[in-house]
Amino acid sequence: MPHNLIKVYNELLDLVAYTETQRTESLKRIFNRDIAENPNFAFKTKKINPTTADGEDTMERFFRHLTTMITDKSINKREFDMQRSRRLHWIKYHIEESKKDNMKVFSVQEPQGIRTYIYDVDEQYVIILEPLRNKDEYYMLTAYYMEGKDAARNKMDKKYKRRMSTLM
């Protein structure tokens, strides 16, 4: 399990042979190192916060959101997502803007509000942030691998064409 801690972008974490408990433990180590216990977790000097929910541990909810996907919207059911989880260590890499080429970083006005996208074109990987009102901080909404190259690229290209002139 500890070998996942030495994985770098764009390697994928090894999770297939693990039991659910081992997988969760391995992912938690990466999550804690890169996000939960990282005092410098910020994008362009703006601190990144997990979204909050009443009655739930914020970091546990955040971890679950980054390693699962909704499978039934009617009851908000989430299940483990191998594609998201295998790329969990990519979040810090992209937040720190370590990759310079073939990246699209932009803000767009969406029906739900302003969203800031960090989009890795080569790897079809996206991180979505929401600027906090009246603060110089972000909420991190999600991060995931976009499956289906043409559909993913078209979706991001449409958003990019509607981008705001300044990054929020």
The tens digit of pLDDT for each residue in 42-82 reads 999 999 988 877 667 788 989 998 999 988 888 888 899 99
Structure-block tokens of residue 112: 């739900």
First CA to last CA across the chain, in angstroms?
38
Contact 130, 113 (CB under 8 A): yes
Question: Which tokens belong to 101?
Answer: 């080429």
pLDDT at 58: 85
Q: Let me know if residue 73 belongs to a domain.
A: yes
* Residue showing tokens 């989430």: 78
Q: Would you say residue 117 lies in a domain?
A: yes
HSE-CB at 157 with a 13 A cutoff on CA atoms is: 6
Residue 168 in any domain: the answer is no
Q: pLDDT tens, 108-140?
A: 999 999 999 999 999 999 999 999 877 799 999
Element (H, E) at 138: strand 137-145
Residue 115 lies in a domain: yes
Residue 167 lies in a domain: no
Give me the phi and psi of 15, to 5 degrees please: -130, -15
Residue 151 scores a pLDDT above 80: no
11 within some domain = yes
| Residue 166 maps to a domain | no
Range of the domain at 29: 2-161
Tokens of 74: 């009617």
- In a domain? residue 53: yes
Residue 108 · residue 115 · CB < 8 Å: yes
Q: Which helix (H) or strand (E) holds 159?
A: helix 149-161
Q: Take residue 58 and report the two structure tokens written for it.
A: 């914020």
Count: domains in the chain: 1
pTM recorded for the entire structure: 0.92
- 56: nearest Cα among 47, 43, 65: 65
